[in-house]
Amino acid sequence: MTLRRAMRLVSGLAVGSALLAGGISPSREPPTVQPNPNTHRAGVLHGAVLSLALEAKQARWQPDGPGRPAMTVAAFAEAGKPPLMPGPLVRAPQGTEIRLSMRNSLPTPLTFFVPVAVRGVPSMVAEDSVVVAPGAVGQLTTRAAVPGNYVYRAVSPSASDKQTRIAGILAGAIIIDTAGPAVATGDRVFVIMETPDSVAAAFADTARDMSRVPRSRMDVLLSPVGRFLFTINGRSWPKTERIAATVGDSLHWRIINASQDDHPMHLHGFYYRVDAFAGRSAASQGLPIPGQMVATQLMSPFSTMSMTWSPDRPANWIFHCHFALHLMPDSISAAPDDPHQRGMVGLVLGISVAERSGRHAATSIAPHRHLRLVAIRDPDFPDSAASMRFVLEEHDSLIQAGTGFSPTINLARGEPVSIMVVNHLAEPTSVHWHGIEIEDSYFDGVPGVNGNGRRLAPAIAPGDSFEARFTPPRSGTFIYHAHIDEVRQQQSGLVGALVVRDPGVVPSPDEHVFFLKGSRFGPDAAVSPLEINGEANPDTIVLHVGRAARLRFISLASVTPSATVSLTARPDSALAIVEDTMLVRWRPIAKDGADLPPAGRGERLARQIVSMGETYDFEYTPSRRGTLRLEVRTLPSRGGRELKARVPVRID
């Protein structure tokens, strides 16, 4: 079954979610969940004590908006107020005593959790908790000792809760501010949640055939039973809040991943600074360098991030999760004008940046180079393993990368370029220049969003073309990829590397690009290996003793958000290993095309998670002849780190 057919089946099953969620008579219809913008503190702050009374109750939720199917979920409400998604914002200055009470108005017991890190215990895993019986009230007191961002949550004993670690939508943010001055202007809190619909939850809770019960979050996501609903502050794109800003503003955001899944968060057109990062598995997965500039940052389950960025160009931009399955519409969530379900839903924020008064708009510069990027589909490949790709043309030269993959585009820093995207497919497409600080968002590649109110970027219709113009402002490793029907078109091959070098610099024979891509032969991470540069079994690469090699890593790995690359002297690639003690050492150079500060360039063991939408550059200098293996594995599991792809390396 193709992914698209599976999702259509999910859509049909999800129509019955309102029926399965019943149990409440029309005369006693529960209150309706309201989206929580997280702009106001809940509870009462009196002196150095914050008191908040929460109630966990059944509530009616319409995740796809008015007129779409509703479901009944467990939700938090502040006493006497409507239920919210996410739950009421707990916010207090450092040093405050936080007194929380929770009334359980649900028919099952709940366990209420608050991280011990809030009160200064150095653990991101341990939590204070209280078990609250149906109809009872539980009390939990903590002290706001450590400034930062945290998640509170509640769970029931159900099987679905064991997978999601949240009952219904019973989760919210705790923000501890530094004692002293008020919160900076522009400080916003955005909580990411993913919630199984009633069909998925009921299946997990009642299935008798345990072999069919999904064993992981990815199994649930790809299961033909029910669907997951992805929200930011209780809304799903295109109904998420539109953020208004002005050129030159300093925007301070707190991103809270209140879910048991990975979300690589990507900002179009700009870099953002990671001011703080914490989470259950943050240390083991690798913490960003304090103050590091990124275009994409992986947020592991229940992690939190404080970020700052400043737009210097007007028009419309987006901030979104780069896990393409988290943006995929179905027949319920798709817009009425999107019958083929090619648009985005879910974890997306729209950002409208206005020009600052008195500031003159930048003038366009005539391009120095003219390229053609032609989208084609190879014949004789079924829809279940379609091969679509770009062919690059310049003057009389033609560059191709084989079936199911697209060639690297090499550009020069500061050199204006025109890229004419020509669509020879039988369906629309669009191209995003990922990581490039493009001057005008009209060319950024999100149809119907980029640009401004007078000129919005179009989808490129079959037989049509679109000219993108930009001047790369920095050298580095970037990506170009389809930004419509992302899962299908990216997996089919409409993806490629975009490498920008300083003027006059030519590629070294010791420079190599490794593009991690989901297999065309299916979305299931358990059975489909990753491809590297479009190949399931790449050829050997050659490095040279004493010569520094630059290794450029890029990932659009479909269903492997924590793909871990490593360079090892192990003589064979076992299908699973507990730990690799033969890793060599390399030196980090850049992340997402931005050079790392000196503090982040120290030599270290050659292992790195590269999530969807991230790029990393490393330098490795071999000291002797021999062989190595570049491996891509999953995070540790019960069977160890599972092998997804490998590249033999010979050192001459």
**Alpha helix (H) ranges present in 527-569?**
none
Residue 197 has φ and ψ, to the nearest 5°, of -75, 175
Q: By C-alpha distance, which of 239, 255, 248 is closest to 353?
A: 248
Are 612 and 262 a contacting pair, CB within 8 Å? Answer: no
Are 175 and 184 a contacting pair, CB within 8 Å? Answer: no
pLDDT tens-place string over residues 14-68: 333 333 333 334 457 899 999 999 999 999 999 999 999 999 999 999 887 777 7
Give the pLDDT band of residue 377 (cuts 50, 70, 90).
Answer: very high
Q: Give whole-number Cα distances, 254 to 176, 257, 310, in Å.
A: 11, 10, 15
- The 3-state secondary structure of 2-16 reads CHHHHHHHHHHHHCC
Are 627 and 648 a contacting pair, CB within 8 Å? Answer: yes
Mean pLDDT score, 332-354: 86
Q: Within 10 Å of residue 532's Cβ, how many Cβ atoms? A: 24
> What is the structure's pLDDT at 223?
53
Which secondary structure element, helix H or strand E, spans residue 645, and what is its range?
Answer: strand 641-651
Q: Within 10 Å of residue 621's Cβ, how many Cβ atoms? A: 16
> What is the structure's pLDDT at 389?
96
Is residue 580 over pLDDT 50? yes
Dist CA 301 CA 200 (whole Å): 20
pLDDT: which is higher, 557 or 526: 557
Mean pLDDT score, 614-631: 96
Place of tokens 């001459």: 652
Is residue 639 over pLDDT 90? no
Dist CA 94 CA 76 (whole Å): 24
> What is the structure's pLDDT at 524?
46
Pairing type for strands 272-278 and 242-246 reads unpaired
Dist CA 45 CA 99 (whole Å): 10
Dist CA 515 CA 405 (whole Å): 10
Dist CA 623 CA 629 (whole Å): 15
Are 466 and 330 a contacting pair, CB within 8 Å? Answer: no
Instruction: Please give the sequence-ordered ranges of beta strands (E in DSSP) within 250-290, or none if there are none.
Output: 251-257, 263-267, 272-278
Kindly report the CATH number that applies to the domain delimited by 508-652: 2.60.40.420
Q: Give whole-number Cα distances, 466 to 363, 439, 444, 463, in Å.
A: 20, 16, 11, 11
Are 69 and 117 a contacting pair, CB within 8 Å? Answer: no
> What is the structure's pLDDT at 186?
64
Lowest mean pLDDT among 79-88, 120-129, 292-301: 120-129
Gyration radius of the chain over CA positions: 25
Lowest mean pLDDT among 106-115, 159-168, 491-500: 159-168
Is residue 220 over pLDDT 70? no
Dist CA 62 CA 197 (whole Å): 11
Which residues make Cβ contacts (< 8 Å) with residue 650, sequence separation at least 6? 540, 541, 542, 543, 627
Give the pLDDT band of residue 539 (cuts 50, 70, 90).
Answer: very high
Mean pLDDT score, 434-454: 93
Is residue 571 over pLDDT 60? yes
The fraction of the chain above a pLDDT of 70, given in percent, is 90
Q: Return residue ranges of the chain for CATH 2.60.40.420.
A: 3-190, 200-354, 362-506, 508-652
Kindly report the CATH number that applies to the domain delimited by 3-190: 2.60.40.420
- Say if domain 200-354 classifies as CATH 1.10.10.60: no
Dist CA 78 CA 97 (whole Å): 18
Is residue 120 over pLDDT 80? yes
Mean pLDDT score, 134-156: 96
Lowest mean pLDDT among 17-21, 332-336, 434-438, 482-486: 17-21
pLDDT: which is higher, 145 or 181: 145
Is residue 311 over pLDDT 70? yes
Beta bridge partners of 277: 305
Dist CA 309 CA 257 (whole Å): 19
Give the pLDDT band of residue 217 (cuts 50, 70, 90).
Answer: very low
> What is the structure's pLDDT at 205?
72
DSSP string, 43-94: SEEETTEEEEEEEEEEEEE-TT-TTS--EEEEEEEETTS-EEESPPPEEEET
Which residues make Cβ contacts (< 8 Å) with residue 391, sequence separation at least 6? 373, 374, 376, 398, 399, 400, 406, 407
> What is the structure's pLDDT at 182?
56
Dist CA 355 CA 363 (whole Å): 14
Is residue 198 over pLDDT 90? no
Beta bridge partners of 153: 113, 171
Q: Give whole-number Cα distances, 628 to 341, 487, 582, 586, 646, in Å.
A: 44, 33, 10, 13, 10
Mean pLDDT score, 80-102: 96
Which tokens belong to 143? 């002290």
Which residues make Cβ contacts (< 8 Å) with residue 512, sequence separation at least 6? 541, 549, 550, 551, 552
If you average pLDDT over every residue of the chain, what do you get? 88
Give the pLDDT band of residue 577 (cuts 50, 70, 90).
Answer: confident
**Alpha helix (H) ranges present in 529-651?**
none
CATH topology (fold) of 362-506? Immunoglobulin-like (2.60.40)
Is residue 282 over pLDDT 90? no
> What is the structure's pLDDT at 228?
86
Q: Within 10 Å of residue 396's Cβ, how many Cβ atoms? A: 5
> What is the structure's pLDDT at 339?
78
Give the pLDDT band of residue 333 (cuts 50, 70, 90).
Answer: confident
Is residue 159 over pLDDT 70? yes
Mean pLDDT score, 154-158: 93
> What is the structure's pLDDT at 133?
97
Dihedral angle over CA of 256, 260, 266, 272, nearest 10? 30
pLDDT: which is higher, 652 or 286: 652
Q: By C-alpha distance, which of 311, 291, 194 is closest to 247?
A: 311
Residue type, 471: T
Lowest mean pLDDT among 336-350, 404-418, 466-480, 504-518: 336-350
Dist CA 74 CA 170 (whole Å): 6
Is residue 469 over pLDDT 80? yes
Is residue 382 over pLDDT 50? yes
Instruction: Please give the sequence-ordered ranges of beta strands (E in DSSP) within 281-368, or none if there are none.
Output: 293-294, 296-299, 304-309, 315-321, 348-354
- The 3-state DSSP class for residue 570 equals coil
Mean pLDDT score, 540-567: 94
- The 3-state DSSP class for residue 399 equals strand
Q: What count of Cα atoms within 13 Å lies in the side-chain half-sphere of residue 563?
A: 35
